Structure 1
Amino acid sequence: MPDLVICGVPKAGTSSLFDWLAAHPDVEATREKEARFFVDRGSHMYRAECHVSGGLAGYARLFAPRPSGAPDPVLRCEATPGYIYARTALAEIPDLPNAPRCLFVLREPSAQILSLFRYFQGNWDWIAPDLSFADYVAALSSGRADFRGNELAARALEHARYIDYLRPWQARLGAERMRVVLFDQLAADPRRLMRDLAIWLGLDPEFYGEAHFAPRNQSYRPRSRLVHAANLRLRGRLPQGRFYRGMRRIYRRLNTAPPPGLSARDRQALAGLRQSFAPANRALAQSFDLDLDGWA
């Protein structure tokens, strides 16, 4: 069972945070960043062969076998940022026998939605390549968006009202087993954040004194959509080990570029989103004692 679960939110630096935790010598992390063991059955992330509905014993398969005689880790962790929205995760994780702690990373809502849009459009193919960000926001606002069953892409507006999801988690976990941090902290001073988290988790914080904090899972634009389609078919069949990471580096060097800039219409949509989330953000800051002045 995990001692720490990074439960949210998508496109807020959780992949980088997971890697930095997994690098600590006293931490054992799942083989894949997104274990998805506690997602809802209707989610596009659901995997019947590795899900809590098959019993908790299946969770052990998410970790690599440990050498005989190796000492137990101080902490086991996984990260599935979609858990924050999952009813199954909310029902199961707080009641796990070892009472794990849960970590939530939040990003200013309009920036999080833009990053989500770029990720699902560029790194994947859930969003059509010719759809502008302004049109994406309009589709979300209409309530008729589907995006091929990807609920994270289709429900981005309601999902960015973080307080609606954090309150039920707080009620289930209690304040001592839950921590909320900001993407701003992760981006501005990762060393300080990781040392603080290490202390909270009972890890030696000195490991992060000299650590290198490389970002991961950044959004991109594929140069060739045909090559990208072949990449999507292939990477779903490869185990996420050393070979997978090497192939990913080669692919990104040859077939990716930074996401395109925003048009004037896109920037207007982004500004409108930022303003629309102001009331929810004020309630969030008050309820969880967060400094969200940078989100205004």
Structure 2
Amino acid sequence: MLPGLETSRNHCQPLGKEDTVRVQDHRYLIIGGAPKAGTTSLYKWLANHPDVCASSLKETRFFLDEGYPLPSAKRFDGQNLDSYDGFFTHCRNEGDKLRVEATPDYLYSKNALQIAELLPKAKIVFILRDPVDRVVSWYKYARQRGFVSPGMSFEQYVRYQVDNPVTPETPVYMRALEQSRYEKYLEGFKSAFVDRLLVVDFLTLKNNPQHVMSEILLFANISPYEYLKDELKAENVSKNKSETVIGKLYSSLRTRLTYLYYDYPLVYGVLKPVNGILKRVLPIYRDDKYSIDVTDDVRRSIVDYV
């Protein structure tokens, strides 16, 4: 958890009749996993639906385990469920719209199993991707963000994870293999959510997004919606690029401001378009020319591991 981000600003918002509605009274659709499997795209597509009010942050990370190695503004401690509403402050005057968020690492957090009981009207969706393709995507993203050295080949990236079991200190980008053991982590969610859980295949979502969206809207019990082709473009696709020094500074500042003002709609509303402009004009990435050779041995190592 980032220091200095513990105080919510919900008291800055005017009181109205929506404030009498408890957090657990709302309907939610939570995209709970898996990382590098299209969760950003699904979140954006759902956010475009007229019956949806999406969280201020795509990844609230509110129900992650206490020690899970990702930054967050707030986490559930057993007593602060009302704080979850801070990610939906802008939804208070939106009536009974479906609230949507996407934290793909929920799949690996036992804390997130409590959502089924804490939010009785919540449903959860998981997108599962072929493990080999997902590990390749993780490697590309880790290089893009500078998490792994350009000198580490894909084979070395895989071999390191095979030889080094995950510990609480293992960064998420080095958990790609372990976290591809989907059934191991899905079991608890299937028991907790029962018929309030939907599993989606990544390739089907990629190749036939309109069909999958229709299935998800039906599952979420909201009205059908005919998406335009431009509304169903893929988001957050890993590329053969790496962050520049300016890009690293930008990402660090963006993260801090995002978590600082996530529950302050006026400020956050101003920052979002500014962020879009900066992403277009700043030299955030440079080309990182490399090829990924998924040999039969490497592929077998991944398949045998998961």
Equivalent of 2:150 in 110, 129, 134: 129
Q: Relative to 1, partners in 2 of residues 1:224 and 1:113: Cα closer, same or farther, differing over 3 Å?
A: closer
Shift of 1:94: 1.1
CA distance in 1, matches of 2:242, 2:172: 25
Equivalent of 1:40 in 51, 65, 69: 65
Q: Relative to 1, partners in 2 of residues 1:145 and 1:219: Cα closer, same or farther, differing over 3 Å?
A: same
Equivalent residues in 2 for 1:162-241, closer than 5 Å: 162-174=182-194, 176-208=195-227, 212-222=231-241, 225-239=244-258, 241=272
- Conserved? CA contact 1:104–1:181, under 8 Å: yes
Q: CA RMSD in A?
A: 2.6
Which one-letter code corresponds to 1:118 in the other structure? K
Q: Report which stretch shifted further, 54-63 or 184-193.
A: 54-63
Give yes or no for the alignment of 1:108 onto 2:111.
Answer: no
Which one-letter code corresponds to 1:157 in the other structure? L
Question: 1:237 aligns to what SS in structure 2?
Answer: helix
CA distance in 1, matches of 2:229, 2:239: 29
CA distance in 1, matches of 2:157, 2:302: 15
Equivalent of 1:18 in 43, 49, 63: 43
- The count of aligned residue pairs is 268
CA distance in 2, matches of 1:246, 1:192: 33
CA distance in 1, matches of 2:95, 2:226: 18
| Aligned match of 1:50 | 74
Equivalent of 1:242 in 265, 273, 278: 273
- Conserved? CA contact 1:15–1:217, under 8 Å: yes
TM-score using structure 2 length: 0.78
| Aligned match of 1:75 | 98
Which one-letter code corresponds to 1:167 in the other structure? E
Q: Give the % identical residues.
A: 28
- Conserved? CA contact 2:131–2:303, under 8 Å: no
Question: 1:102 aligns to what SS in structure 2?
Answer: strand
Question: 1:163 aligns to what SS in structure 2?
Answer: helix
Q: Relative to 1, partners in 2 of residues 1:18 and 1:258: Cα closer, same or farther, differing over 3 Å?
A: farther
Q: Report which stretch shifted further, 33-42 or 155-164.
A: 155-164
Equivalent of 2:291 in 248, 261, 267: 261
Shift of 1:125: 2.9
Q: Relative to 1, partners in 2 of residues 1:149 and 1:227: Cα closer, same or farther, differing over 3 Å?
A: farther
CA distance in 1, matches of 2:29, 2:297: 36
Superposed CA deviations along residues 103-152 of structure 1, whole A, max 9, x for unmatched, are: 00000001111111211221x23322321110011100111678x94542
Shift of 1:45: 1.6
Which one-letter code corresponds to 1:158 in the other structure? E
- Conserved? CA contact 2:146–2:242, under 8 Å: no
CA distance in 1, matches of 2:29, 2:288: 33
Which one-letter code corresponds to 1:181 in the other structure? V
CA distance in 2, matches of 1:76, 1:272: 41
| Aligned match of 2:180 | 160
Question: 1:114 aligns to what SS in structure 2?
Answer: helix
- Conserved? CA contact 1:39–1:46, under 8 Å: no
Superposed CA deviations along residues 34-81 of structure 1, whole A, max 9, x for unmatched, are: 10001111112253x5111160011111124247xx441431111000
Gaps of 5+ in 1: 281-296
Question: 1:217 aligns to what SS in structure 2?
Answer: coil
Shift of 1:20: 0.2
Gaps of 5+ in 2: 1-22, 259-270
TM-score using structure 1 length: 0.81
Q: Relative to 1, partners in 2 of residues 1:145 and 1:163: Cα closer, same or farther, differing over 3 Å?
A: closer
Question: 1:93 aligns to what SS in structure 2?
Answer: helix
CA distance in 1, matches of 2:242, 2:181: 34
- Conserved? CA contact 2:218–2:224, under 8 Å: yes
Runs of 4+ in 1 over 6 A off after TM superposition: none
CA distance in 2, matches of 1:260, 1:18: 30
